[in-house]
């Protein structure tokens, strides 16, 4: 006989510890899912046919109001080696694992490929959802495949790299298959030797040089990334935030040229299909928002792209700040900023 541990279920429960903005919205129902049986039980109860919201680490969400449905928090755990050859290892992370602990686990085993993604908040399951990226590396660069739960049928399906349709902070799970699947386990192909380092992102080289490191290993690259992030990005455990609130806008080359003529110092990066990526943080700073405090909210003093809850803010106050920022960037530059976080 199988033993079924009963799933944790709460009603009218605060979500403040389940979102990194620390917002006090309540869930009418809160379910903590630890294993596949829990998922199947929720499916059997018809929860996925009702109003519901799936949460991982809650690090990419702005809750503007109480949620009058079912909030399902993924808490499955496990990090394991699936297979290994001379140069490469396939590893699997359960969706509920904290992403940073997966990066640290890989580094302890001397597995390379995700070291530039150290300290990104959130869970392993959320990582492919929005193809998280930092310092010249994205999840898609070492992603192998994932296993996801189809909410309508209650069946699992494996998605290959190409089936995930990754883009800049994008995947099929944010587009064609939005809300259809729950990412449950994610596999990566990591290097076991001759690691390919990604040091082109300026700040990494600067930090390594300051430390006198000329031939860094993957652990030292991660340490540099951690140092950079800690110096620029607020720790959600201390100041509520959700990382970059907006995506960096991607514009046509003609429009970018016009902007460059008017603002010669505007940072620009080549993007796909001849387009140009702008730095949302720069645009926001130019509009005077950097470090500005509005009630208990604000744009962070070291990274204007990160909106923060200094304590006691509501989600709708942060959303109002976001709208005001969008308006001023639109007025000054003619550019529409799109949120990177999911707004509810």
Question: Which spans of this chain sit near ligand EPU (rule: CB under 6 A)?
Answer: 134-135, 243-244, 247-248, 267, 279, 281-282, 285, 290, 303-305, 340
Q: Which strands sit side by side in the sheet containing 297-299, from one edge to the other?
A: 240-244, 306-309, 297-299, 293-294
**Distance in Å, CB of 127 to ligand EPU, minimum:** 11
CA distance 36 to 219: 34
**Is residue 197 a contact partner of residue 216, using CB atoms and an 8 Å limit?**
yes
Nearer to ligand EPU, 267 or 334 (CB): 267
**Distance in Å, CB of 253 to ligand EPU, minimum:** 19
Output DSSP code: residue 237. T
**Is residue 85 a contact partner of residue 104, using CB atoms and an 8 Å limit?**
no
**Distance in Å, CB of 9 to ligand EPU, minimum:** 31
Q: Indicate which residues carry an active-site annotation.
A: 169, 244, 340
**Distance in Å, CB of 311 to ligand EPU, minimum:** 21
CA distance 117 to 107: 11
Look at residues 180, 183, 109 and name the one whose alpha carbon lies nearest to residue 145.
183
Helix axes 218-232, 202-210, angle to 10 degrees: 110
Which residues sit opposite 255 in a β-bridge?
none
Q: Which residue has the tokens 């939005």?
A: 178
Nearer to ligand EPU, 47 or 120 (CB): 120
Nearer to ligand EPU, 30 or 305 (CB): 305
CA distance 277 to 143: 24
**Distance in Å, CB of 281 to ligand EPU, minimum:** 2
**Is residue 32 a contact partner of residue 8, using CB atoms and an 8 Å limit?**
yes
**Distance in Å, CB of 259 to ligand EPU, minimum:** 14
Please state the separation of Cα 328 from the chain's center in Å: 26
Q: Which residues, including other chains, have CB under 8 Å from residue 140's CB and lie 6 or more apart?
A: 128, 131, 161, 164, 166
Instruction: Provide DSSP, 62-76.
Output: E--S-EEEEEEEE--
Q: Which residue has the tokens 């580094």?
A: 107
Nearer to ligand EPU, 33 or 139 (CB): 139
Map residue 185 onto helix, strand or coil: strand
């Amino acid at each position: 006989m199988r033993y079924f541990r009963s799933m944790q279920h709460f009603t009218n429960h605060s979500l403040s510890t389940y979102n990194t903005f620390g917002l006090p919205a309540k869930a009418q129902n809160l379910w903590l899912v630890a294993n596949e049986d829990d998922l199947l039980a929720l499916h059997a109860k018809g929860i996925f046919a009702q109003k519901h919201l799936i949460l991982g680490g809650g690090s990419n969400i702005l809750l503007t109001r109480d949620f009058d449905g079912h909030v399902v928090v993924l808490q499955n755990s496990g990090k394991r080696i699936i297979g290994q050859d001379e140069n490469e290892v396939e590893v699997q992370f359960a969706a509920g694992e904290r992403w940073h602990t997966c990066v640290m686990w890989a580094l302890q085993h001397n597995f390379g490929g995700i070291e530039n993604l150290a300290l990104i908040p959130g869970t392993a399951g959320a990582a492919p959802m929005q193809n998280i990226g930092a310092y010249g590396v994205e999840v898609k660069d070492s992603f192998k495949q994932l296993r996801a739960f189809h909410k309508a049928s209650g069946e699992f399906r494996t998605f290959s790299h190409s089936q995930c349709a990754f883009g800049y902070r994008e995947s099929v799970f944010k587009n064609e298959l939005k809300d259809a699947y729950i990412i449950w386990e994610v596999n990566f192909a990591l290097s076991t030797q001759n690691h390919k380092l990604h040091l082109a992102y300026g700040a990494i080289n600067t930090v390594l040089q300051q430390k006198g490191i000329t031939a860094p290993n993957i652990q030292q690259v991660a340490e540099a990334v951690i140092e950079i992030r800690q110096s620029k990005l607020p720790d959600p455990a201390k100041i509520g935030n959700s990382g970059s609130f907006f995506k960096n806008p991607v514009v046509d080359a003609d429009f970018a040229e016009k902007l460059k003529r008017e603002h010669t110092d505007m940072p620009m990066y080549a993007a796909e299909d001849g387009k140009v990526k702008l730095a949302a943080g720069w645009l926001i700073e130019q509009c005077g928002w950097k470090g500005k405090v509005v009630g208990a909210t604000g744009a962070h003093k070291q990274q204007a792209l990160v909106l923060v809850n200094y304590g006691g803010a509501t989600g709708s106050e942060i959303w109002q700040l976001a709208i005001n920022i969008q308006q001023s960037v639109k007025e000054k530059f003619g550019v529409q900023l799109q949120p990177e976080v999911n707004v509810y």
